[in-house]
Amino acid sequence: MADYIDSILKENRVFYPSDEFSRKSYIKNMAQYSKLYKKSIENPEAFWAGIASHIEWFKKWDIVLRNDMGFFKWFEGGYLNACYNCLDRIVKSGRKDKIAYIWEPEKGESKTYTYGHLLKEVCRLANVLKNMGVQRGHVVEIYLPMIPELPIAMLACARIGAIHSVVFAGFSSDALKDRIQDSKAELLITADGSFRNDKVYPLKDNADAALKDCPTINKVIVVKRAGNKIRMAGGRDFWWHELVNEKGIADFCEPESLHAEESLFILYTSGTTGKPKGILHTQAGYLVFVYQTFKWIFDIKDNDIYFCTADIGWITGHSYIVYGPLANGATIIMYEGSPTFPEPDRFWRIVEKHKATIFYTAPTAIRALAKEGDEWPGKCNLSSLRLLGTVGEPINPEAWLWYHRLIGKSKCPIVDTWWQTETGGVLITPLPGATPLKPGSATKPFFGIVADVLREDGSKANVNEGGYLVIRNPWPGMLRTVWNNPDRYRHTYFEKFGVYLTGDTAKIDEDGYFWIMGRVDDVIKVAGHRIGSAEVESSLVSHKDVAEAAVVPFPHDIKGQAIYAFVVLKKGVKKNDALKEELKQHVAQHIGPIAKPDRIQFADDLPKTRSGKIMRRILKSIAEGSTDYGNIMTLAEPSVVEILAKNRVG
Ligand code: WT7
Residue 572 has pLDDT above 50, yes or no: yes
Mean pLDDT of 107-115: 98
Q: What is the mean pLDDT of the chain?
A: 96
Which atom of ligand 1 lies closest to the CA of 319? 4
Per-residue pLDDT, averaged over 315-343, amounts to: 98
Give the separation between CA 514 and CA 32, rounded to whole angstroms.
Answer: 20
Looking at the predicted structure, is the pLDDT value of residue 360 above 60?
yes
Least confident of 7-11, 54-58, 113-117: 7-11
Q: Does position 11 have pLDDT exceeding 80, yes or no? A: no
**Rounded Cα–Cα distance for residues 447 and 439 (Å):** 21
Pocket test for ligand 1, best of 418, 421, 426, 535 (most atoms within 8 A of CB): 418
Q: What is the pLDDT of residue 7?
A: 55
Per residue in 426-448, pLDDT tens? 999 999 999 999 999 999 999 99
Distance CA 360, CA 339 (A): 13
**Residue to substitute in 168, 293, 361, 420 for testing ligand 1 pocket (most ligand atoms within 8 angstroms of CB):** 420
* Beta pairing class for 500-508 and 514-519: antiparallel
Q: Which of 268, 366, 419 to mutate to test the pocket of ligand 1 (most atoms within 8 A of CB)?
A: 419
Tell me the mean pLDDT in the region 521-541. Answer: 94
Residues 150-159, mean pLDDT to the nearest whole number: 99
Dist. CA 526 → ligand 1 center (Å): 11
Show Cβ contacts of residue 179 under 8 Å, excluding neighbours closer than 6 positions: 141, 165, 167, 171, 268, 276, 278
Q: How confident is the model at residue 400 (pLDDT cuts 50, 70, 90)?
A: very high
Q: Is 190 helix (H, G, I), strand (E, B) or coil?
A: strand
CA of 267 to the centre of ligand 1 (A): 15
- Give 212-258 pLDDT, tens digit per residue: 999 999 999 999 999 999 999 999 999 999 999 999 999 999 999 99
CA of 521 to the centre of ligand 1 (A): 13
Residue 58, pLDDT score: 98
pLDDT of residue 521: 87
For ligand 1, the distance from its centroid to the CA atom of residue 260, given in whole angstroms, is 27
Cis amide prior to 342 (ω within 30 degrees): yes
pLDDT of 481 strictly over 90 = yes
Using one digit for the tens of pLDDT, what is the confidence trace for 453-475?
999 999 999 999 999 999 999 99
Rounded distance, CA 338 to CA 196, Å?
6
pTM of the model: 0.96
Residue 2: which pLDDT band, with cuts at 50, 70 and 90? very low
Alpha helices, DSSP H only, in 372-426? 375-378, 397-402
pLDDT at 1: 40
pLDDT at residue 10 in the model: 59
- Nearest alpha carbon, ligand 1 atom 5: 392
What is the Å distance from ligand 1's center to 148 Cα?
25
- Render pLDDT for 495-515 as a digit per residue (tens, 0 to 9): 999 999 999 999 999 999 999
Q: Which residues line ligand 1 (CB under 6 A)?
A: 269, 314-316, 391-394, 416-421, 442, 502-504, 516, 519, 525, 530
